[in-house]
Each structure stands twice: as structure tokens, then as C-alpha cells.
Amino acid sequence: MIIDNYAKPMKTEITLHYKCNASCIHCYQDKNLTCSSVEECKDVERKIALAYKRGARILSLIGGETSLDPRITKFARLAKKIGYKHVLITTNALLLSDPDYVKTLVQSGIDSFKLSFHSTIPEVHDKLLQKIGAYDTLMTAINNLKNYHICLAFATVVTSLNYKDIPNIAEFVTSELKIANLTFFSCHN
């Protein structure tokens, strides 16, 4: 049976900026990129509209750390108003431990969240993000997001520090959280 890939909703991905609130040891992002790399608001709005006109129905906003950009709620509202079916952000979840912030994001139209989840061992997750408490913050963020009818996904970068934990990550995400969307990436460094 041949599957018509063109029948699927097209996704467009827009990088908003390169700022981050973590210093992941596996990050491939050039640490020397400056804030001058920030997309102008009108350019982002134009890209959102143009991609929709060309058939995109899923908008993915990425960064640096997407949740650091105060404009994401504005872009999500615009995307939903235009007609996008889904708005996704990829995030390390460090800011999603605030339930009010999560509520603001969801109410703006962000209905899909891809969270970085690098180990079931708190010390390893924290070390990979170089942020003490990152694991606990992630667990709080997951609990905050569970209160909403949203799509939740996880991304794990496989490194020499966490490769033995991969089965545990898969088990935790699929069995305990009942999430089927888990992506593993090989380390770029």
C-alpha cells in the first residue's frame, strides 16, 4: 500500500532566537550567536502567514530556549487565528514549573510541547543541562502540563553520560506517563 505523504498536514518550523537558560553539554548551538540573531516580529508573523498559505497546518516554534521569548503567546494566537491546527514549542521545561505560565501558554493556543528529558537519574539530567534542580523542575512541568488537553512529547539526546539509562527513559515515558512520542537524538559533539 502506498501512503500519500502529501495528505498529511505540513509543519513549518521557525527559529525565534538563540538565547538559552541552560548550558547543555551536548548542545550543538553556537554559544557565540548574539541577540542580533533574533527574528524580527513582523518577519515571524509574515513567515507564519506565508507557511499557512502554502499548506502548513502545524507551527513549531524553536530556539535557543523558546519559552524565553515573550512573543511566543502572540505568535501562537496569530497561528490559531489564521487556522493552524497545532502550535508546538520545543523546550527544556525550566520555565514550565510555573503553573500560571503554563496556563498562559496553553490559553494562547500552544497545544503541543516537546520537552527535553535526558535521564531518569536526577543528577545526570542536571549535569547534562548544567543546571542544578533541572530534573525536579522537569517533573513539576510535566505535572503542570498534565492539567491540560495538550500533546506532550519528549526528546532525549543520547550521550556517554546517559546511554545506559535509555531503556529507563523509554519505560518511564511510555509506561508511567503513558506518552508514545519519544525521540532519541545522537549527540553532535
Predicted pLDDT of residue 36: 45
Predicted pLDDT of residue 12: 87
- pLDDT tens-digit map of 150-185: 999 998 888 889 889 999 999 999 998 888 888 877
- pLDDT tens-digit map of 100-126: 999 999 999 999 999 999 899 999 988
Contacts made by residues 162-169, CB under 8 angstroms, sequence distance 24+: 162/118, 162/119, 162/121, 162/124, 162/125, 162/128, 165/119, 165/120, 165/121, 165/124, 168/120, 169/117, 169/118, 169/119, 169/120
Confidence of residue 143 (pLDDT cuts 50, 70, 90): very high
Amino acid (1-letter code) at residue 31: K
* Beta carbons within 8 Å of 78's beta carbon, 6+ residues apart: 45, 48, 49
Q: How many CB atoms lie within 10 A of CB 20?
A: 18
Residues 65, 119: Cα–Cα separation, whole Å: 19
Residues 177, 175: Cα–Cα separation, whole Å: 6
